[in-house]
Amino acid sequence: MKKEHKSVQEMWKNYLMSIGEDNGNINKNYTSWYFCDNEKSANDLAKLVREGIKRGTTSLYYWYELENEELPIEDEYSIITDWNGIAQCIIRTKKVSVLPFKDVNEEFAQIEGEGDKSLKYWRETHIDFFTKELKEQGIEFYEDMLVVFEEFEMVYK
């Protein structure tokens, strides 16, 4: 497991101080992570979150099942990092939806805020990414697969 960069705890501490929470509450739950599977995308998407353009993300439900991992939870906090693990901003999950890939609509694509923000772009990008991800497991992507759509707000940068 990769060691958390010191900027992550520093950002969390600064955030807590900015909202007037006791500094002793530094262990309040949060996660830290970056987007995607490559440096350029991770850094570009973190920048979109910092700019307030990207307000959501989508992942395959399959990965949560496979890893026996809990789904994101409303009001949960995450520190978004760049590829190198350096803190960029803090988000709070507003809403979590589980639905078939084929049912993702234009509104979700707009919230995700990538590319030209169209549903066409969203679908093409995600089909490509999910197909590549699943190929390593010997599984084929299909549009009835469930996705987890997490809507969030940036609360600190």
pLDDT at 21: 79
**Cα 62 to Cα 134: distance, rounded to the nearest angstrom:** 9
153 phi and psi, to 5 degrees? Answer: -125, 140
pLDDT at 1: 47
Mean pLDDT, the chain, as a whole number?
A: 92
Domains assigned to the chain: 6-156 (3.10.400.10)
- Weakest mean pLDDT among 16-20, 139-143, 147-151: 16-20
**Cα 59 to Cα 82: distance, rounded to the nearest angstrom:** 18
Q: Tens of pLDDT along 24-80?
A: 555 568 999 999 889 999 999 999 999 999 999 999 999 999 999 999 999 999 999
pLDDT at 95: 97
**Cα 141 to Cα 157: distance, rounded to the nearest angstrom:** 35
